[in-house]
Amino acid sequence: MDRHAPWNGANERAREEQMLLETGCGAVINLAGLWGGARDPRNWIARVAGTKEKLREKGSLHLIHGEDVARAVLEVVMKWDLAVGERWLLTDMRSYDWWNLALAWGSEECKGWAMELMREEDQRVLPRDVGRRGKNLDSREFWMVFGLHPKMSLFTR
């Protein structure tokens, strides 16, 4: 899924964004999961994967760090002619696997669920193949158009 994917017309915010774009005097930056500071993905495991069944349902996690959001907004303002009238998607260009994160950061029980799910699904290594994780967000176009790259990821913390 990239910035050109159809937007959800039933979503009130998306409708408002579309109206702004149609005026020709605005731009929209849709953010992946915002993290940084107190918003630490390590703390999300227990909430979003509190049972084995909830973890089973989890696929990809897409993130963007607040520092990269700030850099992106500044670049959009400085290169407004490239941004105006456009809807952009912003991620750190990575697709994280919830099972992988659970195995790395979860409680002992959660790590056990991840291992059980790997056995049940004949998943030999983590992260799972992108195709097995469901929706994946592609924000390459933003970074290429504006001549940037994300600085922050879960690997650079």
List per-block mean pLDDT (blocks of 10 residues) for the chain, which spans 157 residues.
89 92 94 95 94 97 98 97 96 97 96 98 96 93 98 90
Alpha-carbon span 69 to 1, nearest angstrom? 20
Return the closest-CA partner of residue 2 out of 95, 146, 98, 136: 136
Question: CB within 8 A of 100, min separation 6: which ones?
Answer: 114, 126, 127, 128
In the chain, what is the straight-line distance between the N-terminal and C-terminal CA atoms, in Å? 26
pTM, entire model: 0.91
pLDDT of residue 135: 87
pLDDT of residue 85: 95
Contact 52, 117 (CB under 8 A): yes
CA 95/CA 136 separation, integer angstroms? 7
The confidence score (pLDDT) of residue 121 equals 96
Instruction: Report the amino acid identity of residue 84.
Output: V
pLDDT value at residue 9:
83
The reported pLDDT for the residue numbered 156 is: 87
Is residue 89 helix, strand or coil? Answer: strand
